[in-house]
Amino acid sequence: MTLTSGADMEIVEYLYSAEKEQREVVKITDRLPELSFEDAYLIQEKLIERREIDGARRVGLKLGLTSRAKQQMMGVHEAIYGFLTDDMLGFEWEPIDFDQLIHPKAEPEIAFMIGEDLQGTSVTAEDVLKVTKYVAPAIEIIDSRYLDFKFTLADVIADNCSSSRFILGSKWMKPDSVELGQLGMVMSKNGIVAQTGSSAAVLGNPAVSVAWAVNKLGDAGRGIKKGDIILSGAISEAISFLPGESITVQFAELGSVTMVCK
Ligand code: OOG
């Protein structure tokens, strides 16, 4: 199926206004059951361009469905990617405003800060590590625009992979100073352990996940850039939170990051 340019822009406005007005909407494949992944990425690109018209700037990438558990849950064999924009960046010291979100969930992630441009179609985890200046603990807040967080793969790709906010920890480390593929992780809500895991859950090593995204972009003649921040994918299941609650993700070696919701 090829989307007409009128139809793709209509979907862009549908998803963008849902986010702006904090409304859940019916998933788009209810109307377009044949929506291809290719067309879904096209909608995602136009959605980001729409945000750019309103002043947002691309600052990097996010990966999704990088753990086998999440892939099995969705019945898929591949990860997905979306873009991060500057207006998604949150800070540990600034509470996230629940009223600006729909039904947010927090995910534990490892962020990569990229120090050199990288493009290609056979990029390896080693290539990624060579251009990675730092890694840091991160919390991604996902906030699917779809009713009850229920969607198909094409839906979630079009919705920029549910991305909403991200918060980076203050301790940034050289990637070769930690065992990136074996970092134990504990995610707590209000001081009580909610999820545990290991960075190994992300395709064996989060650098593998970043390499996958670079190759995917490479297929489209694009790459990652110096200064990009890349969220390599959730290490465990996402957890929901409410106003007044806080989430902390603590990694072995890499330190911690905390998010507070108001
Ligand atoms: C899709 C995005 C999941 C991850 O890291 O797996 C994601 C979703 O579950 O809403 O960001």
ipTM of the complex: 0.97
Structural domains of the chain, ranges and CATH numbers in brackets: 5-260 (3.90.850.10)
CB 233 less than 6 A from any atom of ligand 1: yes
CB 213 less than 6 A from any atom of ligand 1: no
What is the model's pLDDT at position 69? Answer: 76
The model's pTM is: 0.97
Q: Is the pLDDT of residue 5 over 90?
A: no
Q: What is the pLDDT of residues 76-116, one digit of tens each?
A: 888 999 999 999 999 999 999 999 999 999 999 999 999 99
Which residue has a Cα nearest atom 11 of ligand 1?
64
Q: Is the pLDDT of residue 1 over 60?
A: no
**Residue to substitute in 161, 230, 237 for testing ligand 1 pocket (most ligand atoms within 8 angstroms of CB):** 161
Q: What mean pLDDT, rounded, does the chain reach?
A: 96
**Residue to substitute in 19, 27, 62, 65 for testing ligand 1 pocket (most ligand atoms within 8 angstroms of CB):** 65
Q: What is the pLDDT of residues 178-206, one digit of tens each?
A: 999 999 999 999 999 999 999 999 999 99
DSSP letters, the chain, are ----HHHHHHHHHHHHHHHHTT--B--GGGT-TT--HHHHHHHHHHHHHHHHHTT--EEEEEEES-BHHHHHHHT-SS-EEEEEEGGGEE-TTS-B-GGG-SS-EEEEEEEEEE-S-B--SS--HHHHHHHEEEEEEEEEEE--SBGGG---HHHHHHTGGGEEEEEE-S--B-GGGS-TT--EEEEEETTEEEEEEEGGGBTTSHHHHHHHHHHHHHHTT--B-TT-EEE---SS--EE--TT-EEEEEETTTEEEEEEB-
